[in-house]
Amino acid sequence: MLIEVNVEDCYGLAQQSADASNLPESAASGEISAAETWENWFSVWLENQAADVPVAPGYEVSLRLTGDTEMQALNLQYRQLDRPTDVLAFAALEVDCPQLEEMQSSEPLYLGDIVISIDTANRQAQQQGHPLKTELAWLAAHGFLHLLGWDHPDEESLTQMLDRQEILLRAIGLAIQTA
């Protein structure tokens, strides 16, 4: 399955590579802001979640890497919570808008937007004792599942979603260490 990921590095990870002494090696090298890395991850996840995805000739996801200031503004605007959060997902599939049959068979299906705060992700990675790259993959997988209709209104559905995130991380060769 083909997927195009539009990565907006509003945090400036690529520019910080020269003086990234406070960022992990993967961030300093620009690896986590590289569109190819994200496209590879989302492609694997898309294959893994094929049963949750409508059939289309291709797929699109928009990923925005930002800081706590912008994330707090977005969280306030869309969730009425005046604090930063780690990830927000805006699913396009939740919007019921008619499409012409020709468009459905020829245009990529836009799944939605995922916004991740690098500031919060970095703090969480340090607290959990794993690399920023792993935390970002974890958050992106969480956002991706939301784009596909997954939600966690109760403990049982949260546990199912977290289990699925672990599966998605293992599929790209990463793992969350649990104590």
- Write out the chain's pLDDT in tens, 179 residues: 688 898 888 877 655 543 444 444 444 445 666 778 899 999 999 999 999 888 888 999 999 999 999 999 999 999 999 999 999 999 998 655 555 454 456 688 999 999 999 999 999 999 999 999 999 999 999 999 999 999 999 999 999 999 999 999 999 999 887 54
Residue of 131, 157, 142 lying closest to 87 (CA atoms): 142
How do strand 59-66 and strand 109-117 relate by DSSP bridges?
parallel
C-alpha angle 22/27/32, rounded to 5°?
A: 155
Check residue 50 and give left, alpha or beta (phi > 0: left; psi -120 to 50: alpha).
alpha
Sign of CA dihedral 34, 35, 38, 40: negative
In the chain, at which residue ranges do the beta strands (DSSP E only) sit? 3-9, 59-66, 87-91, 109-117
pTM: 0.85
Give the pLDDT of residue 21.
44
